Amino acid sequence: MAGARAKGYPQRVVRSSHALSLAGAGAAALALAAGCGDSLDISVDYKVVGLAPVSGGTCGAVPQTPPLATGATKVRFTFRDHTAAGPGPLRCDVVLPRGGDAPVLAVPRKAEPVDLWVEYFTDAGALVARGQATDVDLKGGTVTIYTTDADAYACEPAQPTQPRAFHSATLLPTGEVLFLGGLAGPASGAGADFAPAAGAYVTASAEIYDPASGRVTPLVIAGLSPRAFHQVVVLGTDPNGDVRLAVSGGLGVAGDAAAAGNVAAIGGPAGEAPWAPVAADAAMGRAGAVPIAAELLTYSPSTRAVMRTPIVGASGAPAAAGGQPDAEFGSPRLIGGGLGPGGDVLDALTPTGEIAVSLPGVPRVGATVVAATATSALWLGGDLAGTRLYDKIIQLDATPALTAGPMAPQAGVNRAFAAAVRLDDEIIAAGGLRIVTGAISDTTGAVPGVRIDVATDVVTELPAGDFLGAAYMAAAQLPRHGALISGGVVAGDLACLGTLACVNAQSVRYAADATARSTGAAGLARYGHRLTRMPDGTILVSGGFTRGTTDGTIRAVATLERFEPHDAGDDPLADVGPARAPGGVAEVGGVAVAPCAVVRGGPAPDASVAIDAVEVDALDVDAM
C-alpha cells in the first residue's frame, strides 16, 4: 500500500450489494468503490431494478428485481460529469456481458457527482432496456436505477392518490411534475365507476411528483379554484428559486364543487359533444358550470408551499387552449382561449404574470397552442364560427401578433380537442371531435388527423392506417424529433353502450420523416390523460378516464406510467461525443478513450487497477 499512497491513488471502486441480472438467471453486481490490491473500500452500492407494467388495471408494489431485458446479451454503463446545466463530459464507460461474477468498477474523481446510464443491448446492437440516474454522489450510499423496456410502458416507482382526467401535468424547472385539477367522479369515490351521463365532479386538488426522490406529495393551495380542461404555463423562476406559474381557462362550477350532485361536466346524448358544461338545475343539485378566471401560482421548492393570486384581466373560459410542453418560447407566455366571455382571446404574460398583450381571434373551443418555430406558434382547431383550421401567432421574440391562418381544406378536418405536437417543420393534429354547422359533434370522423407544413400552410391528411381517429388523445415530443400519440375515446360508437365508454389503448410514434408505427401497448387504455416529456426523454403518462367494470361506465385513474422512447440511436453521449457504436464504448481510432476499469468480476478484471488505473486526484492521505 505504500506505493499506492506515494503515487496518490484514492480509495474508490464501484459495486452493488444488490444483484444486477447480467444473465438470464445469473446474478452479477455493480459497485463503485476504491482501494488497492484486493482491499476494496466500497463507497456506493447500486441496485438496478426493472419496472413492471400495469397488471389488472393497477400498479402494484414497486419491483425489487433485476430487469428481464429479454434478448439482451450485454450491458453498457455510462458515467458523465454532473453539472448544474445538465450532463457534462464523459467520465468513463464500459460494456459487460450478462452473467459472470459481480463486477467492481473504478470510476474517476470520487468527490464529483455523476449522471449514470444503464443500457441493455443485443449482440446486433438493438437497445432492449434503459435506465438513468442523475446527480449521483460517489462518496457513499445506495442508488436505485429503474429501467424500462424500450418502446414500452411500465409503472412509475411512485403513484399519486387523486384520480383525475382533463387535468394539467406540468414539468417544473426543478424536474418535478405538478398535477393540478381535473374531472373525477362520482360522489361515492373519485375513482369509482360511473356513467358519463351522471356527470363528473371537478377538483382543486394538487400533487407534485419528484422523480429524484420517488415521492408524490399533496400540495395545499389556499383558495385555488377547482377546474378542468385548463392549462398551466411556467412563467419563470424568481431570484429566490421560486417558480411562477399561470393557470388559465377551464371549467369550474358555481357553489361548492364537492356538494352532492354539483357536477361540472356531463356526457351528452347521441349527436352532442361528449363532455359538455352543465346547466344549473336546482332539483339535481347542480349549480351550473362556469368559466374560471386565471390565477398566478408561486411555488417554493424548498418548502413545497404555494401562494395564489388572481391574474387581473386575463381570459377565463371553458375548454381553454391547452399549453404544450414542446412550446419552448421565451417570454411572453401564452394563456387563455376557448369559448366564453373573453374566450376568443390569447393573453401573453410577462415572467411576473402581467398581461403584455392580448390577441383577439375567432371564438374557439377545445383548441390548442403548439409551437411552430422558435418565434411562432399555431392556435389550432375548435373554430365554431367557421372553418378556419388555425391562426398564426408570430413575433414571440418581440411584440406578439395574431394573423389568420388557412381554411380547413375539406369538411371534417376542423376538429375540437385534437392533440397537437410539433414534428420538425410540421405539426401533427391527431384525432378530435368533428365540428358541424357551428357545433361540436360526438363523432371523430374517418380521417385520423392532419399534418401541417409550417412554412407553406399545406395540410395533408394522415393515412387512415396510422391510428384510429379518436377524441381526447394525448401527444408529446420524443427524442430526435419524434412524436408519441396515445389513447383516446372513439366518440359516437354506441357499441360500448355509451359514446364515452369506447376507450382505446392505442399508442403510435412518428419518426421525424412522419412515418408511423405502433409501440408496445400502454398498460391502461385512457383518454383525457396527459403526456409529459421528462428531462431524461422518457414520457410520463398521468390520469385520464378508463373503462369501468360494467358496460357503459368509466372511472378516473391516478395511475402513472412511463414510456421509454429511446432506441440504439439515442446514445447518452450523442451531444458531446465521442461517437460510439450501438452497444459499444467510446473509441477514437479503435482505442477506448475513457474506459471504466474492471477491478473485480466481469469478463477480464484488470489486475493492475488498484495501483495504475484508480485515478490520482482525490487522495485523503489521513484516511488511508
**pLDDT at residue 409 greater than cutoff 70:** yes
Specify the pLDDT at position 197.
Answer: 92
pLDDT of residue 480: 83
Task: Note the pLDDT of residue 25.
Answer: 25
Confidence of residue 126 (pLDDT cuts 50, 70, 90): very high
Q: Which segment of 109-123, 573-587, 596-610 scores lowest on mean pLDDT?
A: 596-610
Q: What is the pTM of this model?
A: 0.89
Residue 171: name the closest of 211, 220, 116, 224 by CA. Answer: 211
Question: What tens digit of pLDDT does each residue of 31-58 get?
Answer: 554 333 334 555 677 788 999 999 988 9
pLDDT-derived band at 181, boundaries 50, 70, 90: very high
Q: What pLDDT score does 158 carry?
A: 95
DSSP notation for 162-224: ---BS-EEEE-TTS-EEEE--EE--TT-TTS-B-GGG-BEE---EEEEETTTTEEEEE--TTP
Q: Which residues pair with 133 in a beta bridge?
A: 116
40-44, 270-274, 389-393: lowest mean pLDDT where? 40-44
pLDDT class of 333 with cuts at 50, 70, 90 = confident
Distance from C-alpha of 378 to C-alpha of 391, rounded to nearest angstrom: 6
Per-residue model confidence as pLDDT tens digits over 83-93: 988 899 999 99
Give the three cell numbers for residue 443.
363523432
Tell me the average pLDDT across 578-599. 90
| 179, pLDDT greater than 80 | yes
Question: How far is 310 from 467, CA to CA, in rounded Å?
Answer: 41
Residue 26 binned pLDDT confidence (cut-offs 50, 70, 90): very low
What pLDDT score was predicted for residue 5?
Answer: 23
* pLDDT at residue 59 is higher than 80: yes
pLDDT reading at 282 higher than 70: yes
pLDDT band at 612 (very low <50, low <70, confident <90, very high): very low
Is residue 358 classed exposed, middle or buried when 0-12, 13-18 and 19+ CB atoms within 10 A define those classes? middle
Which pLDDT score is estimated for 525?
96
Percent helix, strand, coil in the chain, to 5, is: 5, 40, 55
Lowest mean pLDDT, pick from 103-112, 208-217, 538-547: 103-112
H helix count then E strand count, the chain: 1, 50
What's the confidence (pLDDT) of residue 609? Answer: 38
- In CATH terms, the fold of domain 155-564 is Methylamine Dehydrogenase; Chain H (2.130.10)
- pLDDT above 70: residue 455: yes
Residue 542 has pLDDT above 80, yes or no: yes
Do the beta carbons of residue 421 and residue 486 sit within 8 Å? no
Q: What is the DSSP letter of 364?
A: B
CA 452 to CA 48: how far, in whole Å? 42
**Which has more pLDDT, 472 or 249?**
472
> For residue 14, is pLDDT > 70?
no
Contact 563, 536 (CB under 8 A): no
Per-residue pLDDT at 60 exceeds 60: yes
DSSP-derived 3-state class of residue 611: helix
Higher pLDDT, 146 or 12: 146
User: SS3 for 602?
Assistant: coil
pLDDT tens digit sequence for 304-326: 999 999 988 876 666 655 444 44
Percentage of the chain beyond pLDDT 70 is 85
What gap in Å lies between CA 435 and CA 382, rounded to an integer?
Answer: 7
The dihedral built from the CA positions of residue 408, 411, 417 and 423, taken in this order, carries a sign that is negative
Domain ranges for the chain, please list them.
Answer: 2-150+570-623, 155-564
The reported pLDDT for the residue numbered 605 is 42
Question: How much is the pLDDT for 30?
Answer: 55
Give the per-residue SS3 of 1-60.
CHHHHHHCCCCCEECCCCCECCCCCCCECCEEEEEECCEEEEEEEEEEEECCCCECCECC
Residues 114-131: what's their mean pLDDT?
Answer: 96
Whether residue 503 is predicted with pLDDT greater than 60 in this model: the reply is yes
